[in-house]
Amino acid sequence: MFKLLEYGDVFVIFKGGSGTVSEFGTAWVLAKLYFGHHKPIILYGRFWAEILDVFRKNMNIDSTEMSVFEICSTKDEVLSAIDRFENKISQRDHSEDGDGSMDSAFKV
């Protein structure tokens, strides 16, 4: 899982089981910790809105945490979301490692 988080450029999360919830949770907390330099998270399917509503109602979740992902239900929405994230990223000033590669918020 951690290599997927490290090497992935964008995370599109589909309906799954407890492993999917675990992977989403890990990506979500890392995105909050590295907010502004995080990798895009896209939740595929409208059912995610209901799940996140339960989180919002029953847990201490702030607006920053809710802004690190988008919910999409079509491939066109996914592509548009990726474009929006890329536009945000291109406007940021990313520093480079000593080896010339981009810093990764998801290195573990």
CATH number of the domain where residue 31 is located: 3.40.50.450
Residue 82 inside a domain? The answer is: yes
Number of domains in the chain: 1
Is residue 95 pLDDT above 50, yes or no? no
pTM of the predicted protein model: 0.77
Residue 12 inside a domain? The answer is: yes
Residue 96 inside a domain? The answer is: no
What is the pLDDT, as a whole number, of residue 104? 52
Residue 62 inside a domain? The answer is: yes
Residue 45 inside a domain? The answer is: yes
Host domain of residue 56: 2-89
Residue 106 inside a domain? The answer is: no
pLDDT in tens, 26-76: 999 998 888 877 889 999 999 999 999 999 999 998 888 888 899 999 999
Residue 41 inside a domain? The answer is: yes
Residue 68 inside a domain? The answer is: yes
Reduce the secondary structure of the chain to three states and give it as a string.
CHHHHHHCCCEEECCCCHHHHHHHHHHHHHHHHCCCCCCCEEEECCHHHHHHHHHHHHCCCCHHHHCCEEEECCHHHHHHHHHHHHHHHHCCCCCECCCCCECCCCCC
Greater pLDDT, 108 or 24: 24
